[in-house]
Amino acid sequence: MPVNETPLQQPVAAATRRKFFVTAAATAATAVPLTAARAQAPGVAVKPSAIVLKMQGAWGAKDIFNEMAEDYVKRVNEMAGGRLRIEYLTAGSVVKPFEVTDAVSKGVLDAGHTVAVYWYGKSKVASLFGSGPVTGANAEQTVGWMMRGGGYAYYEQLQKKLGLNLKGFFAFPMPTQPLGWFKKSPPKTAAELKGFKYRTVGLAADLMQELGMKVTQLPGGEIVPAMERGVIDAFEFNNPTSDRRFGAQDVAKYYAMGSYHQAMEFFEIIFNRTKYEALSPDLKAILQYAAEATSSSNTWTAQDNYSRDLQELITKDKVQVSRTSKAVFQAQIKAWDTVVAKLEAEDPFFKEVLKSQKDWARRVAYYGFFNEADYKTAFEHVFKTKLPA
């Protein structure tokens, strides 16, 4: 008994305690309906529902690029902790692959996973943000120009000039794209390139037309049907895995690796700028840094799959794989000189952006060539294999 509680006070205190527990139990019993009622009442703070962004890719469901896009979506959704969620759609779900940029800008879609070359029809400067012309810098070094060398400021300036309501990020410096698929032995000289009905995109189309090819620009899913109908008789898309998955080996058996037409490229992950600007700073950061993280993940995925599928094309599909000839490389690089000179004369902004890119390449690629080990010699020594020149 506490020293300040007398025997006469004990029954009163006990009754008070019993009343308290009865009241508490009754309150607990009504807690759930009261909470539900409060959720409907104005002015009462409740947990907000997730912000949902609809993103469409430019890739078919079976394309490895689709998996790479989903890799980005997965990272964003996990890092956002339920406050923001991207819902991903494959190519054609809402708009065609070449229409993704406009759909995102206009708000038909909230976001897109594509490449800048797909909107080069608006301005050929767009091709500088991923697919050429060749400068001597590889894709990884060119992404460096985008992120550290002033390229991104030019990218946003171009969008403003074109009236595009977009916020974009970049990911995955892609390996060199092959010269492509042919029904017979690939061309070995510049003269042999002439006359082919060839599929490519962006400034690569200007380049190959300069070399005498008749170019048709098609999204990946339309290539094989076009080859079967005779609309084209040679094509490139991007890599051994994408090519094999959409059945390139079923319509052609000759595959030439290496080319200057798209010696570099990278994904463009775009958001409607109005919707992006409405997000909190931490959610904006998640969208940006998820792109940077996914860039590494996509690279590892490509290394694993591209190398395996190249071997499968050779051993299982009986495709004749060769290295593009030095004569074709030389013809391409000379043709680039002609294409670039014309574009610089037509558009001072193209000239300004390319100069920035070339200034970066002169410094960064120079360092790379001087510093990089001779990996080819090491490979030939370790595996006792002579690689094509």
Residues of the chain short of pLDDT 70, as ranges, are: 1-48
Residue 170, phi-psi category: left (phi > 0), alpha (psi -120 to 50), beta (remainder): beta
In this structure, CATH architecture of domain 51-173+265-303 = 3-Layer(aba) Sandwich (3.40)
Cis peptide before 42 (omega within 30 of 0): no
**Residue 54 φ then ψ, to 5°:** -90, 120
Is residue 226 packed enough to be buried (19+ CB in 10 Å), middle (13-18) or exposed (0-12)? middle
Written as one letter, the residue type at 214 is: K
Sign of the alpha-carbon dihedral angle for 287, 293, 295, 300: negative
Instruction: Specify the 3-state DSSP secondary structure of 79.
Output: helix
Compute CA 313 distance to the chain's CA centroid, rounded to the nearest angstrom. Answer: 25
According to the model, what pLDDT value does residue 49 have? 83
According to the model, what pLDDT value does residue 29 have? 39
**How many Å apart are CA 81 and CA 273, to the nearest integer?**
22
Cβ–Cβ < 8 Å for 182, 251: no
Instruction: Specify the 3-state DSSP secondary structure of 356.
Output: helix
Where in the chain are the domains? Answer: 51-173+265-303, 180-263+318-364
Q: Which two tokens stand for residue 19?
A: 């009343």
How crowded is residue 60: how many other Cβ atoms within 10 Å of its Cβ?
A: 19
The C-alpha R_g of the chain, in whole angstroms, comes to 29
Which residues are CB-contacts of 312 (< 8 A; sequence separation ≥ 6)? 244
Instruction: Specify the 3-state DSSP secondary structure of 6.
Output: coil
Sign of the alpha-carbon dihedral angle for 132, 136, 141, 145: negative
Sign of the alpha-carbon dihedral angle for 221, 339, 101, 63: positive
DSSP state, residue 247: T
According to the model, what pLDDT value does residue 165 have? 98
**Residue 197 φ then ψ, to 5°:** -90, 105
Cβ–Cβ < 8 Å for 270, 129: no
Written as one letter, the residue type at 220 is: G
According to the model, what pLDDT value does residue 138 have? 95
Cβ–Cβ < 8 Å for 318, 180: no
Residue whose tokens read 């395996």: 308
According to the model, what pLDDT value does residue 278 have? 98
CATH code of the domain occupying 180-263+318-364? 3.40.190.10
According to the model, what pLDDT value does residue 36 have? 38
Q: Which two tokens stand for residue 95?
A: 């708009």
Strands (E), the chain: 51-57, 84-89, 111-114, 166-171, 180-182, 197-199, 214-216, 234-235, 254-257, 267-272, 320-323
**How many Å apart are CA 180 and CA 249, to the nearest integer?**
11
Burial 345-354 (b: 16+ CB within 10 A, else e): eeeeebbebb
According to the model, what pLDDT value does residue 38 have? 38
